Amino acid sequence: NLLDAIENSKKTTLAAFIYALGIRGVGETTARMLANTFQTLDALRHADLETLKKTPDVGDITAEWIIDFFQAPHNLEVLDRLLAAGIHWDAPVAPPRQPLNGESWVVTGTLSSMGRDEATQLLQALGARVSGSVSAKTKCVVAGEKAGSKLDKAEKLGVPVINEEQFIDLMHNYGLLEA
């Protein structure tokens, strides 16, 4: 069982692998954006600064940290050893249509038809970056019952707010939920 568990743990996704590398400034969302943009580890390893900066969720500083990570000999050695040990992921497939690619959304309050995690996954499937806080860069806030301070901040900043019913309609329109 232990050997099977070890063998099964070698299969991952490119996004999870990038995140697990611990590159400074690269969280789960950024790792997913990098995986969607570059499609292969090799393409990411050899990306230049300007290309990295064009990736949604990657700013100037994070782009420099990524370049630094892939230029450090120790990091390249660890990468090669991980791949030699059998860490792998499925070959990239063309990413599905992502109409919300790079947009920042916030889910707040209690949703009656689904959990916030499920709503987050639906938004991420459309390419959105789901944040825990509202800012001027937030594209939209999905507000459930008892939304509280995040709803207040969105209204103060003039950020569009939709309720759960409107969110479900939006997911129906994108084909992610059954009517």
For residue range 103-145, what is the model confidence (pLDDT) as tens digits?
899 999 888 888 888 888 888 888 888 888 898 889 999 998 8
CATH number at residue 75: 1.10.150.20
Range of the domain at 63: 2-89
pTM for this prediction: 0.59
pLDDT of residue 117: 83
Identify whether 153 is part of a domain: yes
The 3-state DSSP class for residue 45 equals helix
Same domain membership, residue 118 and residue 56: no
Identify whether 158 is part of a domain: yes
Identify whether 30 is part of a domain: yes
Query: Could you list the mean pLDDT of each consecutive 10-residue stretch along the chain, which spans 179 residues?
Result: 90 92 91 86 92 84 95 95 90 69 88 86 85 89 88 91 91 76
**Helices assigned H by DSSP within 72-162:** 73-84, 116-125, 149-157
CATH number at residue 152: 3.40.50.10190
Residues 159, 123 contacting (CB under 8 angstroms): no
Identify whether 54 is part of a domain: yes
